[in-house]
Amino acid sequence: MNKKIVSGSALILAASLALSACSDTSTTDQDAGKAPDNTGDKKSEEVTYSNWTTFGYDLGLNRHVPFEEITKDNVNDLGIVWSAKFKDLDENIPAGNQNYPIVIDGVAYVSTSHNYVFAFDALTGEVKWEWKPSQELLDTIERTGMPSVNRGVAVAEGKVFMLTNDVGVVSIDQETGETVDYIQVSDYFPDITIDNGYYETTAPVYYDGKIFIGSSGGDNGVRGFEMAFNASDLTPAWDEPFWTVPPKGEDWLAEGLFGGGGAVWMPPSVDEETGLMYISAGNPAPDFFGASRPGANPHTNSVIALEADTGKMVWAQQQLAHDLWDYDTADSPTIINTTVDGEERKLVIVGTKGAEWFAYDAETGEPVFENVAFGKIDHPEPTPEGVLAYPGVLGGQNYAPDTFDPELNLALIGSIEQPVIYKTAKNEEEAQQEGPAGAAAFGTSYAPAADVPAFGRITAIDTTTGEVKWQIDTPDMQRGGLTSTATGLSFYGELDGKVKALDTATGEELWAFQTTGDTISAAPSIFEVDGKSYIMITSAGRNPQIFVFALGGDKTQGEASGEKVDSNPHK
């Protein structure tokens, strides 16, 4: 394969400004501040494209495409069009991958662990360019020991945007792979550094000329936030971040030696009609030890509505007060239109790691459905001796995004059941143990219950009633999430490397394909070229890969490696 390699080590502001000045100044929908169009863009008169332009297909993060070529009758004709092993393209790429590809006009933009980025010809697999992280960034990742997966990029205004593991933001020329701009968030907000416990695994989202970002690190006691930067030059678009928790030493953090949390470690959803955006905030810190953080700990474990223009909070709803089990509201909120009691409603829906599902009125935050269980729930308060709790620290719904079928009014959730034994410190002094990169170990721990096997589950919830329509158990934990089509199919991957399709209405498995990938920890992106549908998905494991399927592709299946290596299993 021919490829252009571009080093990220030349992240120098002067060069960035020069590149920016030389960029194309033509006006497009994205330049005008509109959301990227993903419905039938035209690159030329000869070829038509229906693209996958943001993390969840649309800004509401429904992960549902209106494509009709692949049906229940022909799904078994799917085969591989092309695949590639990332380590064959660059031997320095590490194990593990949780990337959700972006595909625009026949080009796929895919990131990997340690912040490498590739632009592929989406139909052939030819590498158009590769962006490499700087040695300084790689050294920082190794020094701090922070998780280094990257879940994806945003593409808009002729640039590819990525969050780097050391809490940086980079824009890359979409055509050439050259660095345009690069900032550290700490350039503007000095406390937001990797040495203070922050790190980045999430994908940014573009809307209205802005790039929206959150951060991981809630377990390390950081102060969770959401922030907007101008896509044009990566300067702040809000006066300051929206902070999910108070500063250390104030309010419910007044007495503790350390604490914080409420990290926003998955992308926001955006309502283009109202200009509201919705974020999910994770657990409070210290994990499992609540004595030093009295009360409900708002706005942790919450869905929060913000004005996209300003970052001002409109409403907030907490799914679990005073969390002691690390039961984040982790996955992004999804914006849907459905019918409840005969009335058309716009709702914001979300599942939690505590295996409960919620639906709120998108404008007011008024609860519509609450505490709908989709897993076993049994969580006694942790003790120094240890307690067994369900669904466990990795489940129910971890980061795996759900999908919503608007014709069936079904939301499908992939989840995990892995009961664990929680142990907590006897007191705060015992809990104060130094950890890496500004974190603290908190004297707490958890371990999977040795005699209870972990497994996965897919649940369909009827959004018109809030009731569970069907559930199926899966052999492995559901890590990656789902993507659905207008023909009633939902696609997802398994930890054994299989890609599967099920009947969205019933949960019946209709197709399974064994790839050579060790582990699939992400959901597929589906796009069309001249009306032909393609399914793109990445795998993790020791040798991460990318696969593209289409009708008429090679049906030769691989063999499972037997390894289910899922790097960064948590955040």
Does 309 have pLDDT greater than 60? yes
CA distance 535 to 524: 6
Q: Which domain CATH number covers 474?
A: 2.140.10.10
Give the C-alpha separation, 412 to 457, whole Å.
10
pLDDT (0 to 100) of residue 435 = 57
Mean predicted confidence (pLDDT) in 98-105:
98
**DSSP string of 394-447, one letter each residue:** T-BS-S---EEETTTTEEEEEEEE--EEEE--SSHHHH--B-STT-B-TT-EEE
Structure token digits, residue 379 = 């969580």
Average pLDDT over residues 250-261: 88
The reported pLDDT for the residue numbered 571 is 80
Judge whether 372 lies within some domain: yes
In a domain, 189, yes or no: yes
pLDDT above 80: residue 438: no
Q: Which of 221, 300, 286 is nearest to 429 (CA)?
A: 286
pLDDT digits (tens, 9 = 90+) for 381-406: 999 999 999 999 999 999 999 999 99
Asked if residue 283 has pLDDT above 80, the reply is yes
pLDDT of residue 570 exceeding 70, the answer is: no
| Domain assignment of residue 167, yes or no | yes
Q: Does the pLDDT at position 563 exceed 90?
A: no
pLDDT at 445: 80
| Residue 268 is assigned to a structural domain of this protein | yes
- The secondary structure of 203-214 as a DSSP string is PPEEETTEEEE-
Give the pLDDT confidence of 171-197 residue by residue, as tens digits: 999 999 999 999 999 999 999 999 899
- How far apart (Å, rounded) are the C-alpha atoms in residues 192 and 186? 5
In a domain, 423, yes or no: yes
Q: What is the pLDDT of residues 316-327, one digit of tens each?
A: 999 999 999 999
Q: Is residue 561 part of a domain?
A: no
SS3 65: strand
Q: Among 23-27, 44-48, 311-315, 364-368, whose mean pLDDT is lowest?
A: 23-27
Mean pLDDT of 138-145: 89
Residue 436 or residue 49, greater confidence? 49
Quick one: average pLDDT of 65-94? 98
Whether residue 335 is predicted with pLDDT greater than 80 in this model: the reply is: yes
At residue 30, the pLDDT reads 34
**Site of tokens 């920082």:** 140
What's the pTM value of the predicted model, to 2 decimals? 0.92
Which residue type does 65 have?
V
Both tokens of residue 288?
Answer: 């499992």
Given this model, what pLDDT does residue 40 score?
A: 45
Overall number of domains in the chain: 1
Model confidence pLDDT, tens digit, residues 27-77: 333 333 344 554 444 444 689 999 999 999 999 999 999 999 999 999 999
Percent of the chain with pLDDT over 90: 79
Residue 21 in tokens: 């000045």
pLDDT beyond 90 at 360? yes
Q: Give dist(CA 424, CA 387) in Å, integer.
A: 10
pLDDT band with cut points at 50, 70 and 90 for residue 500: very high
Among 123, 120, 216, smallest CA distance to 164 is for 216
176 burial (CB, 10 Å; 0-12 / 13-18 / 19+) is middle
Q: Give the mean pLDDT of 96-120.
A: 97
Q: What is the pLDDT of residue 425?
A: 83
Mean residue pLDDT of the chain comes to 90
Residue 36 placed within a domain: no
* Range of lowest pLDDT (35-44, 295-304, 544-553): 35-44
**In-domain check, residue 170:** yes
Res 131 pLDDT > 70 = yes
Query: What token pair was written down for 5?
Result: 């390699």
Which residue segment(s) compose the domain that 58 sits in?
5-22+50-551
